[in-house]
Structure 1
Amino acid sequence: MRGWQLIAPYTAVTALFLTRLLTSTGSSLILNLATIGVAGLVIGRQGIALRERRELLERQRDDLVASVSHELRTPLTGIQGYSQILLEAGDILSPAERREMVETIGTQTTHLGRIVTDLIDVARDRLQNTRLHRSDYGAAELVREAVAAAAGGRQVATELDEEARVFADTDRIRQVLVNLITNAVRYGRSKITVVTRIDNGANVFSVHDDDDGVPNKYQHTIFERFERGAHKFDSAVGGSGIGLSVGRDLITAHGGEIRYRPSDLSGGACFEFTLPATQPSLPDLVGV
């Protein structure tokens, strides 16, 4: 904000004080001088606050660009590399080698699609226009599908209640699970476990890893948009900081809750969300 824009709202008041100052004497002069001094301090402090806000927004923008650029570059590099190999040397590769490269391209394309989906969701202003398409589905099957999409070759253990069923938009709940499992694969060391259970009439999904967990000072902000916790200033670490925010909005729209807690299975992080076990009476638009 330019200087003249900052002082414009105070122009009339300033002119009035100056007029009174020129016509005042004695104690009235001192009072008017003090009033003008206080007004100057207020204007100056607002200018400092606006500058600090602008600088913060610029830092957040730069952090987001660096993070998203890294996140997009990684799958694009894999897709480009394997595609080039298949084009130039596909005839001399064995069927197993070609299949492995095609599968890798497919996995990286899926990952890239998830990033783009999250960005689009954020651009829709916290999913306000996203319609949910609910259906009855097995909770265990949802988890197996999400693990297949997100594990990326890592071993992911499951403890599933085969009887549990959810009434939900399965694509959106799968999206949430894929994001949580992807985070566990990215930050965990070796032990990742996905658990489903029924607790007090609600379906509970939890994703555990054996990393160090989320530091205390980030546990209350980790679900905010673009928040990357301890990695917020490290563009070398993957993650755009939007997956958990999108997940929170989607789970809330389903009548559930999502939270972080220390893992009692692996000693690291546990991200856990609940969904009603019965069909809730909820609107079909996220955020309504």
Structure 2
Amino acid sequence: MTKILIIEDEEGIRENILELLNGENFEAIAVENGCKGVQLAKEKTPDLIICDISMPELDGYGVLQALRSEPTTAMIPFIFLTALADKANNRKGMELGADDYITKPCRPVELLNAIDTRLKKQAAIHQQQSQKLEELRSSITFSLPHELRTPLNGILGFSELLLTELDTLEPEEIKEMVEQIQTSGKRLYRLIQNFLLYAELELIATNPERIKALRSHQTDLVNSLISEQATQQAKQLQREADLHLQLEDAQLNISPARLKKVVEELVDNACKFSVPGTPINIISQVKNNSFILSITDKGRGMKPEQIENLGAYMQFERRLYEQQGSGLGLVIAKRIIELHGGSLTIESIPDRQTKIQITLPTS
């Protein structure tokens, strides 16, 4: 049964709406002020909220701000019920995230139509989310075998040579083959981990409680973490000398592990898709309560359509270049940042430069 929360301080109006909704087979619950409304919304997670604007203690705008700032209630359809019908008040409510306005006094059919419209829209959103999850499952089913084949072939091929030709191989040849097996094994492990992480992030994105839990972590000394992770990644790819760091410290609501993953993937991309000997500049600053991190390389860059069509299972112009992989790293970094209330943007000039900038709110 669809659950609707009514927040209205006038008892007569509150009781009339309750009677109307219960008569239409909704599960209607009601409270008389904004503070109780916010608390009940967090406890009951209704399918829709109808809220008066002019109330003591906490008005409707305060209720809406409080609910939109909580992952568990941020997406609940919200209808203002108000005697304030001027454009300025309507605009203020819409800017805060209200879905609709109903002016008091209103006819029952008007209120029911507004509720029906909002519930249908919410159902469409849920359907889109389900479709995305289905696309994710299909993409993994299609892409995973292909992506795993190359490193797996390396492991199987060299191990077979060792088994069949061991007696005729020189120690140096054996060492080289074992190193190749280890390299392929590490690559295979990273591929699997990235596929699993991407699937996890997409599932988190559909669950407000998990988003809230994700944002509950904190990282101090961000500059030290970025410096260590970027240096480690560049060293693995023999690009440590090309790394130039200019970092400002901050405190962020993101776990160290998630932030490390973002830095790992972005520095990995910058190293792999630019020529050794060219600079990779990493700069961070705190501005207007936001932490801004940019990573710039002088590599082959990306075309506007490639940036626009950035997808989880596409590596741009893969056939033309040596680098193999799912192209998933950049998408993982973008998803992590978005789930923490931030953004990732790409500015690129093909064959000249790529700048990736992430922005996160400071603690």
Give the alignment's TM-score, normalised by structure 2: 0.46
Change (3 A) 1:85 1:227: closer
Corresponding residue of 2:218: 134
State whether structure 2 residue 283 is matched by structure 1 residue 185.
no
Change (3 A) 1:62 1:171: closer
Corresponding residue of 1:12: none
Cα deviation for residue 110 of structure 1 reads: 4.4
Do the aligned residues in 2 keep the contact of 1:187 with 1:211 (CA within 8 Å)? yes
State whether structure 2 residue 337 is matched by structure 1 residue 251.
yes
SS in 2 for 1:135: coil
Corresponding residue of 2:90: none
Corresponding residue of 1:152: 236
Give the alignment's TM-score, normalised by structure 1: 0.56
Corresponding residue of 2:44: none
Change (3 A) 1:271 1:126: same
Q: CA RMSD in A?
A: 4.3
Corresponding residue of 1:210: 298
Do the aligned residues in 2 keep the contact of 1:143 with 1:174 (CA within 8 Å)? no
Cα deviation for residue 275 of structure 1 reads: 2.6
Give the fraction of aligned pairs with identical amino acids, expressed as a percent.
25
State whether structure 2 residue 272 is matched by structure 1 residue 196.
no
Deviations 1:69-96 (A, max 9, x none): 564344445556777899959xx858xx
Do the aligned residues in 1 keep the contact of 2:229 with 2:263 (CA within 8 Å)? no
Tell me, in whole angstroms, the C-alpha distance in 2 between the residues paired with 1:64 and 1:183: 25
SS in 2 for 1:229: coil
Instruction: Number of aligned residue pairs: give it.
Output: 214
Do the aligned residues in 2 keep the contact of 1:185 with 1:192 (CA within 8 Å)? no
Structure 2: tracts of 5 or more residues without a match: 1-133, 205-209
SS in 2 for 1:270: strand
Deviations 1:233-267 (A, max 9, x none): 7797513133222221210122221111127xx93
Change (3 A) 1:218 1:86: same
Tell me, in whole angstroms, the C-alpha distance in 2 between the residues paired with 1:188 and 1:146: 15
State whether structure 2 residue 251 is matched by structure 1 residue 175.
no
Corresponding residue of 2:316: 229
Deviations 1:11-70 (A, max 9, x none): xxxxxxxxxxxxxxxxxxxxxxxxxxxxxxxxxxxxxxxxxxxxxx99xx79984x6556
Tell me, in whole angstroms, the C-alpha distance in 1 between the residues paired with 2:179 and 2:250: 31
Match for 2:346 among 251, 257, 260? 260
Letter paired with 2:342: G
Do the aligned residues in 2 keep the contact of 1:68 with 1:239 (CA within 8 Å)? no
Do the aligned residues in 2 keep the contact of 1:192 with 1:210 (CA within 8 Å)? yes
Do the aligned residues in 1 keep the contact of 2:233 with 2:267 (CA within 8 Å)? no
SS in 1 for 2:356: strand
SS in 2 for 1:260: strand
Tell me, in whole angstroms, the C-alpha distance in 2 between the residues paired with 1:158 and 1:166: 23
Change (3 A) 1:267 1:159: same
Do the aligned residues in 2 keep the contact of 1:160 with 1:196 (CA within 8 Å)? yes
Tell me, in whole angstroms, the C-alpha distance in 2 between the residues paired with 1:121 and 1:109: 18
Do the aligned residues in 1 keep the contact of 2:234 with 2:243 (CA within 8 Å)? no
State whether structure 2 residue 250 is matched by structure 1 residue 165.
yes
Tell me, in whole angstroms, the C-alpha distance in 2 between the residues paired with 1:71 and 1:150: 24
State whether structure 2 residue 324 is matched by structure 1 residue 238.
yes
Higher relative contact order (CA 8 A, sep 6+): 1
Deviations 1:155-208 (A, max 9, x none): 143333455134221111211222222222332222251413204143332333
SS in 2 for 1:160: strand
Tell me, in whole angstroms, the C-alpha distance in 2 between the residues paired with 1:199 and 1:134: 16
State whether structure 2 residue 208 is matched by structure 1 residue 122.
no
Q: Which moved more, 1:73-82 or 1:143-152?
A: 73-82
Equivalences for residues 13-92 of structure 1 within 5 A = 65=142, 68-69=144-145, 71-76=147-152
